[in-house]
């Protein structure tokens, strides 16, 4: 979907491109991609980079345009991994600023894409607009990290009683989310550092806003690394817990088999087709059954005394 706004406030939508406007493209179709390339003069060599889901964050400066790519977090539910990251490309020219993302996202939602807290803000500063995107992206990373931590806590409770790998696989997917986040946040940090030192835009940067974006990015990185370290140790610990739970179950089944083997052995001996001196006795069957029960109960008591049960 393509939406054109008069300014970066994201409130005054217009139908045609004007000087200083902002074009927000989310989840484009093939027809919209062709329109972007032809009407908005997007260089052909950048098209594949911008539309590559695995593109790394970076900054490119040319005489006629500037390209900034950062990676932002998005939610998904189709393959079991709740969060991952996608590139958000910002293509800046003298006439317009174009943002492209392949997925619906909360950094620039297509319904209300304004990155500003103040309503109806008429802002035309594209560099500080980019910094606000970094700041909003950092806030979103922190929000999703808290959700990952809550999901992990719920999985922990199930893991304590589990003997299967299902919960461990869920924990592995949480770890995968954290790897995505850490890799993307580190790359975004490099882009922010390059923006800070770039001679082309240094004079236009709001230092306070840049500092806020860097702090938010570092906080998200530290939280992701802490959660990742905790989960790495947790996965090793709970793998041992699952193995121990399985060993306990196997031990109990083995003890039950031993107890059941006592009456089976006695019945097998007296069931042989050979004389045993009790063929004509009326009390033979009750005696054999009683003896089997007594020996079985004695076996249970011995195992309980040794705390095997």
Backbone angles phi, psi at 19, to 5 degrees: -65, 130
120 pLDDT above the threshold of 50: no
Task: Sheet with 65-75: list strands edge to edge.
Answer: 13-14, 2-5, 21-26, 96-101, 83-93, 65-75, 58-61
Q: Give mean pLDDT, residues 167-186.
A: 86
Model confidence at 183, pLDDT cuts 50, 70, 90, reads very high
- Write the pLDDT tens digit of every residue in 202-250: 555 677 888 888 898 899 999 999 988 888 777 777 667 767 777 877 8
Model confidence at 290, pLDDT cuts 50, 70, 90, reads confident
Q: Mean pLDDT, the chain, as a whole number?
A: 80
- Write the pLDDT tens digit of every residue in 142-174: 999 999 888 888 877 776 665 566 777 778 888
The pLDDT, as a whole number, for residue 119 is: 47
Q: What is the pTM of this model?
A: 0.75
């Amino acid at each position: 979907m393509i939406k054109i706004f008069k300014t970066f406030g994201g409130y005054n939508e217009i139908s045609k491109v004007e000087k200083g406007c902002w074009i927000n493209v989310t989840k484009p179709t093939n027809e919209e991609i062709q329109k972007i390339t032809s009407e908005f003069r997007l260089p052909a060599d950048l098209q594949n980079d911008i539309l590559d889901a695995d593109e790394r964050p970076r900054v490119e400066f040319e005489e006629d345009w500037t390209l900034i790519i950062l990676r932002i977090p998005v939610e998904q539910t189709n393959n079991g991994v709740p969060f991952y990251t996608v590139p958000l490309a910002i293509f800046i020219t003298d006439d317009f600023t174009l943002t492209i993302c392949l997925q619906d996202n909360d950094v620039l939602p297509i319904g209300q894409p304004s990155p500003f807290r103040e309503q109806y803000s008429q802002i035309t500063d594209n560099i500080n607009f980019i910094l606000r995107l970094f700041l909003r992206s950092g806030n979103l990373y922190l929000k999703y990290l808290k959700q990952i931590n809550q999901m992990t806590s719920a999985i922990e409770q199930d893991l304590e009683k589990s003997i299967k790998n299902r919960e461990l696989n869920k924990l592995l997917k949480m770890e995968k989310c954290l790897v995505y986040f850490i890799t993307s946040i580190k790359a975004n940090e490099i882009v922010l550092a390059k923006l800070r030192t770039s001679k082309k835009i240094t004079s236009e940067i709001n230092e306070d806003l840049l500092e806020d974006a860097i702090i938010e990015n570092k906080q998200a990185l530290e939280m992701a690394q802490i959660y990742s370290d905790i989960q790495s140790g947790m996965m090793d610990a709970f793998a041992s817990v699952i193995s121990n739970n399985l060993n306990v179950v196997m031990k109990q089944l083995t003890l039950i088999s031993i107890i059941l083997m006592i009456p089976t052995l006695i019945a097998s001996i007296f069931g042989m087709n050979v004389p045993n001196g009790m063929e004509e006795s009326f009390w033979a069957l009750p005696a054999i059954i009683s003896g089997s029960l007594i020996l079985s109960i004695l076996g249970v008591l011995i195992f309980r005394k040794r705390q095997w049960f």
